[in-house]
Amino acid sequence: MGVSTRMLRLISSSLIGGVLIFIGIDHFLNTEWYVPIVPSLLGVPEFWVLFSGVVEIVVGLGLLFPKTRTYASLSGAWLMVFLYIANANMWINNIPLDGITYSTPWHVARLVIQIILILLLCWIGEITPFKGKEKLYHQLEVFEGRITSMGFSSGHRFVIGQWNDTPFGSFNDIMWVTPNQKRILVCGDEKIASYISSMYTFEEVVIQPISIIKNPNGLQIQTNSIEISLEWSKGFTIPFRRSLFFIKNVESWFAKVFFKTKTYGITNNYRKEWYMINHLSKVIQCEGYMNNETLGTLSNIDERCGFGFSDPPRKPSSVLVKTHIL
């Protein structure tokens, strides 16, 4: 890291820290000015104004000192997210401040500024894609590929892994839950199956070839007894790397809230695992057969699969992922 970058981080953290301390103090000096924008659902608006003022002062002070800067940056980023609830409340309900009701362009500009502040705080604390190489990278086992998951109206649920770059080379695997909750691992290699089953829970392990043919927007999967063909939507790409710290402390929370899954956890054999999602698509069409009998229509995964610390997203999906295991 160059001296100029360190200096920019120092200046930015000092400026934001100073502003947060000033605004935090102002919450105590001009409490009534902030009261109107506190959502009524929270109740006792004066308490929330003063509480947020305390948090702003603490975060601001933390940004001023190198030893606490990373944690203060992460806390500050979350603070910006939660404070925007008040700004959104002001926008949605046209709440005036000092008798002035602000227009939509003003609120849009306010949202953009909030996002910039969140990204800037993450950059200051080096807790996002800006962090660079992981300190433990040389100790990590990295698996890069695609995970596709879906359920069927018959009750069968599948998590299909197509791994292109791993310590074992390329391979495919299928984690399968039957309607009676029996968890089965299907894999074409005994050594790889042993590795996977040491980290996840299965009642049965089946060693048999898995053929996966990739189309421009879908897959065709075939084993001795299972045939599945599917298509996914265009989806969206996450165009930047995230640090493992960020994936564990921030991204995993969003994954749990919005997708009912986790991007970090501890495996059955006490190893740490991070999922870095690079592209997410919705499975929009799927046909499945077992021993030439239909598996039924495509459905959500409403019941837990229970393979390990994380379940697949509730809605059928296909993600490009880079998995890190320590």
Please state which of the ranges 117-126, 154-163, 283-292 shows the lowest mean pLDDT: 117-126
More confident position, 92 or 294: 294
The CA distance from 119 to 9, in Å, is 13
* pTM score, whole prediction: 0.65
Assess contact for 120 and 79: CB atoms under 8 A. Answer: no
The enclosing H or E element of 132 equals: none
- The structural domains of the chain, with segments of one domain joined by +, span 3-127, 137-325
Average pLDDT of the residues in 246-253: 80
Confidence of residue 132 (pLDDT cuts 50, 70, 90): very low
Confidence of residue 135 (pLDDT cuts 50, 70, 90): low
Beta-carbon contacts of residue 158 (< 8 Å; ≥ 6 apart): 149, 150, 151, 174, 175, 176, 177, 228, 288
Q: Which residues pair with 150 in a beta bridge?
A: 158
Would you state the pLDDT for residue 306?
A: 93
> Which structure tokens are listed for 110?
């306010």
Would you state the pLDDT for residue 97?
A: 76
The pLDDT mean for the chain works out to: 88
Average pLDDT of the residues in 76-99: 81
Among residues 177, 158, 170, the alpha carbon closest in space to that of 227 is found at 158
- pLDDT, one tens digit per residue, over 183-211 is 999 999 999 999 999 999 999 999 999 99
Would you state the pLDDT for residue 290?
A: 94
> Which structure tokens are listed for 266?
């501890």
For helices 66-92 and 45-63, the axis angle rounded to 10 degrees is: 150
Average pLDDT of the residues in 253-269: 86
Average pLDDT of the residues in 297-324: 93
Average pLDDT of the residues in 158-181: 96
Residue 137 has pLDDT above 80, yes or no: no
The CA distance from 31 to 53, in Å, is 9
Confidence of residue 243 (pLDDT cuts 50, 70, 90): confident
Would you state the pLDDT for residue 255?
A: 81
Would you state the pLDDT for residue 326?
A: 86
Please state which of the ranges 58-62, 234-238, 275-279 shows the lowest mean pLDDT: 234-238
Please state which of the ranges 228-242, 247-261, 300-314 shows the lowest mean pLDDT: 247-261
Would you state the pLDDT for residue 70?
A: 83
Residue 324 has pLDDT above 70, yes or no: yes
Would you state the pLDDT for residue 318?
A: 95
Would you state the pLDDT for residue 138?
A: 66
Average pLDDT of the residues in 254-261: 80
Residue 295 has pLDDT above 90, yes or no: yes
Q: DSSP per residue over 55-123, as a string?
A: HHHHHHHHHTSHHHHHHHHHHHHHHHHHHHHHHHHHHHTT--BTTBPPPHHHHHHHHHHHHHHHHHHHH
- pLDDT, one tens digit per residue, over 11-55 is 888 999 899 999 999 999 988 888 888 887 788 889 988 998 999
Would you state the pLDDT for residue 12?
A: 86
- pLDDT, one tens digit per residue, over 218-233 is 999 999 999 999 999 9
Confidence of residue 296 (pLDDT cuts 50, 70, 90): very high
Would you state the pLDDT for residue 179?
A: 95
Beta-carbon contacts of residue 187 (< 8 Å; ≥ 6 apart): 171, 172, 173, 174, 193, 196, 205, 206, 207, 210
Residue 130 has pLDDT above 90, yes or no: no
Q: Considering all CA atoms of the chain, what is the largest pairwise distance in Å, rounded to the nearest integer? A: 73
